[in-house]
Amino acid sequence: MDSINNINKLTKNDFISNLNPKSLQVIKNAKLEPSLKHAKNAVAYQFLRNGYFCIDSESTSKRLIFNRTVSLRDSWIKKNT
We report the CATH number of the domain holding residue 34 as: 2.40.240.10
The three-point CA angle 41-23-47 to 5° equals 45
- pTM attached to this predicted model: 0.63
- Per-residue pLDDT tens for 14-50? 777 777 888 888 888 888 888 998 999 889 999 887 8
- Per-residue pLDDT tens for 41-53? 889 999 887 899 9
Average pLDDT taken over every residue of the chain? 80
DSSP for the chain reads: -HHHHHHHH--HHHHHHTS-TT-----TT----GGGGG--TT--EEETTTEEEEE-TT--SSS--EEEEEEPP-HHHHHT-
What's the number of domains the chain is made of?
1
Q: Which domain holds residue 47?
A: 2-79
* pLDDT over 60 (residue 1): no
